Structure 1
Amino acid sequence: MFTNDFHFNTEKQLNNNYDTAILPFWEQHAQSNSFNGVDDKKVHTVNIRTGNNKAILICQGRNESALKYKELAFDLNRQGYDLFLIDHRGQGLSQRLGGDKHRAHIKHFQDYMSDLHTYVESLNFNIHYQHAFLLAHSMGATISALYLEQYKHPFNACILFSPMFSLNLGMPTVLAKLITCSYSLIDRWFVKNPSYIFHGQGYHTRHFENNQLTSSELRFQLSNRIFIDHPEVQLGSPTMHWVNESIYATRQAIKHANKIDIPVLAIQAGADTIVSNIGQERFFANLTKYIDNEFMVIASAKHEILIEQDRYRIPALNKVLEFMRRIQNNESNKP
């Protein structure tokens, strides 16, 4: 059993209040914006300001958009946080880079961090907020870790859900690196559009049965509904070049984890088949600047803890709120 100490939204409530409370909250407070990122590419963002003195920036995973985080934004705003969300280049409502709207592609993984830095700088967290936190999921965790390792930043702590620090590639990483690098070079020389990964394809409707993301059918269907209601955010499989860039990025994030100068809470999904847990453990072992770091395993949870069943999602969010409150109290007690 779990306790819902912070009164987070439940699946039972979600049946009734998604359309009557969560969507109206989003429509009233979510302000869409955009800026020009690396190579002048359009990057979409959402700002939710309701007059709080604490802020959370959400750094999403691959094939996600800010629209997917409506329930989480609703929950966290009720806890007294303003929310800021970024659609990474090549996905969500940001500009596509792969030659068609479904091909999940980037030029350099570093561009993600450069875009994030531009967005964070524009928000002036140090001026407007007493505390600021970075919350990331999957690929967003890789981006967030590398960003924290490379840039001066305004965040008090970082929370990583199912962080992508090693990919579940179905083959040795060395072989995957060789294959994806070879395809990337061939694409650059001879092919108009970058190649999908093996068996990759454009957007297609996913079905709940045998999905690897969540065991909550309700939250799964609500996630799918976003792609139906907003076809402009539909995305297909990643390209070979994206995988090649991501393999290198995850290695760099692990190698330089000791440069992160704020406390980190890493939350692992015990039944994750999308990313490998090995990389998460190596990354956490390299976090050496703070003793306040925490590692939590949500046993039996699938990859997307934030849209999982209540028995997985709520204990994870309880931990996040407790972690952030502890950080805030420690900061307030400093001389």
Structure 2
Amino acid sequence: MEPAPFHHDIAAAPEGARAFWVTAPDGVRLRLALLAPPPDTSRGTVLLFPGRTEYVEKYGPAATAFLARGFACLSLDWRGQGLTDRPLGDPATGHVARFSEYQTDVAEVIGAARALKLPEPYFLLGHSMGGGIGLRALHKGLPVKAAAFTGPMWGIALPAVFRPIAQLLAALTHSSGFGHTYVPSTKPGTYVLDAPFADNTLTTDPEMYGWMRRQLETHPELALGGPSMTWLNEALKELRQLRSLAPPAVPCLTWIGTNERIVEIEAVRRLMRNWPGGTLKEVEGAEHELMMEPPAIRDAFFDAAAEHFAAS
């Protein structure tokens, strides 16, 4: 592992946070970050799987919260976003050729956790796309004692007019050689910089929204635009396959906002109804990013996640 840039000026991360490069077997250079080093009395390590468009600095406050509760925290920039390698000539496009490529990144996270001798047990925290990747990783035997999710991407909240033809259009576009094009209604600009706070789909906290905007204004190289048609095709196939599987035998806590508009809330409800011992918390009025909501909500989530991990 070689040192990688970590933007302390925007991260609000614990002292000692640092990033490093690892190279996956397929040659993709990934940026991983030890966001919270192990405390003196450690309760384990949180493996934080972020969402689409995100980057490790965004989770500095979450790592601070977990450190205060006795946990180390390791995260990453998924392939195609953050400072990790991006596969297309247009770096603003969120793209992977196959969704299974993300599992290669997951393996690097586990390898890094062991190389760094981070304290066990390990726990999974997956947000949005990281929740979909994390669910697949659990099915593949991810070595964690328990899992928690916020706004997990177990279904995509597509516009009603697009939903009936989404899979067909995505597949046809991918197979015709135009899979690198943006999904309709998306563009190169990143949502946080383009959308005003009023009626945004991420958070009801104006301070957190302003902080996220300042991060990307200060370091625009971290920004990402809309997904490619190939990404959408692969994501829809992956979610269809995941829906056919019984929930994994791992203790699970999931939080989702009642005003969720990015992932399909009913898909989350269906899976959690069938998850043995699983707990679903629906937060009244909250948007997609529970860890970026007002302090009362995010503190309650961090308390609940820490208690869930410790009790598992």
Calculate the TM-score normalised by the size of structure 2.
0.89
CA positional deviation for 1:53: 4.7
Runs of 4+ in 1 over 4 A off after TM superposition: 125-128
Partner of 1:71, secondary structure, is helix
Q: Is the 8 A contact 1:145 1:257 kept in 2?
A: no
Rounded Cα–Cα distance in structure 2 between residues aligned with 1:36 and 1:127: 19
Q: Could you say which residue in structure 2 is the equivalent of 1:242?
A: 231
Rounded Cα–Cα distance in structure 2 between residues aligned with 1:307 and 1:182: 37
CA positional deviation for 1:62: 0.5
Q: Is the 8 A contact 2:43 2:310 kept in 1?
A: no
Q: Determine whether 1:39 maps to 2:26.
A: yes
Distance 1:129-1:257 versus aligned 2 partners, 3 A rule: farther
Q: Could you say which residue in structure 2 is the equivalent of 1:65?
A: 55
Q: Could you say which residue in structure 2 is the equivalent of 1:154?
A: 143
Q: How does 1:20-99 map to 2 (within 5 A)?
A: 23=12, 25-26=13-14, 28-37=15-24, 39-47=26-34, 48-51=36-39, 52-99=42-89
Aligned amino acid, residue 300 of structure 1: G
Deviations 1:58-104 (A, max 9, x none): 00001100110111111111111111001110011111123211011
The percentage of aligned residue pairs carrying the same residue is 24
Aligned amino acid, residue 265 of structure 1: L
Question: Unaligned stretches of 5+ in structure 2?
Answer: 1-7
CA positional deviation for 1:125: 8.5
Question: Unaligned stretches of 5+ in structure 1?
Answer: 1-17, 328-335
Larger Cα-atom Rg: 1
Distance 1:226-1:57 versus aligned 2 partners, 3 A rule: same
Rounded Cα–Cα distance in structure 2 between residues aligned with 1:66 and 1:82: 14
Q: Is the 8 A contact 1:162 1:267 kept in 2?
A: yes
Partner of 2:26, secondary structure, is helix
Aligned amino acid, residue 33 of structure 1: F
Q: Could you say which residue in structure 2 is the equivalent of 1:270?
A: 258
Count how many residue pairs are aligned between Structure 1 and Structure 2. 298
Partner of 1:86, secondary structure, is strand
Q: Is the 8 A contact 2:189 2:225 kept in 1?
A: yes
**Residues 275-284 or 80-89, more deviating:** 275-284
Q: Could you say which residue in structure 2 is the equivalent of 1:282?
A: 270
Q: Determine whether 1:225 maps to 2:214.
A: yes
* Aligned mate of 1:261, from 244, 249, 258: 249
Rounded Cα–Cα distance in structure 2 between residues aligned with 1:221 and 1:37: 34
Q: Determine whether 1:201 maps to 2:190.
A: no
Q: How does 1:292-307 map to 2 (within 5 A)?
A: 293-307=278-292
Rounded Cα–Cα distance in structure 1 between residues aligned with 2:73 and 2:118: 13
CA positional deviation for 1:321: 2.0
Q: Is the 8 A contact 1:55 1:131 kept in 2?
A: yes
**Higher normalized helix content (fraction of residues):** 1
Partner of 2:57, secondary structure, is helix
Partner of 1:148, secondary structure, is helix
CA positional deviation for 1:268: 1.6
Q: Is the 8 A contact 1:161 1:305 kept in 2?
A: yes
Rounded Cα–Cα distance in structure 2 between residues aligned with 1:126 and 1:103: 32
Q: Is the 8 A contact 1:181 1:241 kept in 2?
A: yes
Q: Is the 8 A contact 2:49 2:134 kept in 1?
A: yes
CA positional deviation for 1:167: 0.6
CA positional deviation for 1:269: 1.2
